[in-house]
Amino acid sequence: MGRKAKKLADKLPGVSRNLVEQAIDFTSPRGRLEMGGLLIGHLDSDGAIQVVTGFFPKQLEATAGYCEFSGSWVAMAAAACLYANQACSDPIIPELRIVGWIHTHPNLGLFLSSIDVATYKSLKLMTPDSKFIAVVIDPLRDEQGIFLDENSPNEYFSTSAVPEMSQQLRQKYHCFLDRMQEIKISKGSDELCAILPGDLRIERLLMGDTDDSRTASRAAIQKMKGAIWTLEEEIKTLKQKIKPLEGLNREIISMKKDSMIIQQHLLDLKSKTSQRNSLLQKLFS
Ligand SMILES: [Zn+2]
């Protein structure tokens, strides 16, 4: 559960749970390597952010405590939003825009580091109205938090569902996702690693999109199965090596027993000899 935030009067943003789950599925096979991406959404009639979709581009740097992607992805995402907005220019339908930044904290928990605060601040400056959230996910602990303010790096909320969208709004998101798919095809999946369709997943799969999150987690399971098989083979080999040693061990134990019996005999003999010696001494004294 999220912690209490400052601006309780403001309506909290909606973040698609499916989107967050897809992000967790995609990033958990990376282990301790962090990963960052962008979140796309709109403002609802109350001015609250609704996060619907997102993507993870290639990381310029990814370590256990830091990740960075090219700033050109901000421009590309903004252009794809513009494309969707122009394709459906009905003023009643909200405009799509970049509304957030998502990044992972594998096994680190939920907070904003000093570098995160600086990144959040610089991304927020690119928005016209400072409406921008940060989402941190810990794919190894299966935790997620929404941060509303870079000045409160330890205050976060848990995700809440995005309200049902109108057909026209869904269509606008499809336009955006179409454009992102085109970018993925032209640049390759090394550059645009994953598109997270959120609640539009089933529709996108029916349209022929690849399921990036499911593919990544399936590949990780296969890899794990391979590792288990190798481990089982290694255990078998070790057991075979141990077998003759077990026989040797039994021999050592039996030799130890024999040695103890011999030692006992020697002690008896010693005591008998000393008794005889003292008897002889008495006889000849
Ligand atoms: Zn961070």
In 3D, which of 129, 107, 105 has the Cα closest to residue 115?
105
**What separation, in Å, do the N-terminal and C-terminal C-alpha atoms of the chain show?**
99
Over residues 64-90, the mean pLDDT reads 93
In 3D, which of 101, 67, 72, 96 has the Cα closest to residue 84?
96
Distance 208 CA to ligand 1 centre (A): 34
Q: Tens digits of per-residue pLDDT, 153-210?
A: 999 998 778 888 999 999 999 999 999 999 999 999 999 999 999 999 999 999 999 9
**CATH number, span 14-210:** 3.40.140.10
Distance 66 CA to ligand 1 centre (A): 7
Distance 275 CA to ligand 1 centre (A): 85
In 3D, which of 196, 250, 228 has the Cα closest to residue 54?
196
pLDDT, position 154: 96
Averaged pLDDT score across all residues of the chain: 91
pLDDT, position 8: 47
Extents of the domains making up the chain: 14-210
Q: Tens digits of per-residue pLDDT, 17-41?
A: 999 999 999 999 989 999 999 999 9
**What share of the chain in percent tops pLDDT 90?**
64
Distance 64 CA to ligand 1 centre (A): 10
Distance 144 CA to ligand 1 centre (A): 12
Distance 199 CA to ligand 1 centre (A): 26
Over residues 88-104, the mean pLDDT reads 93
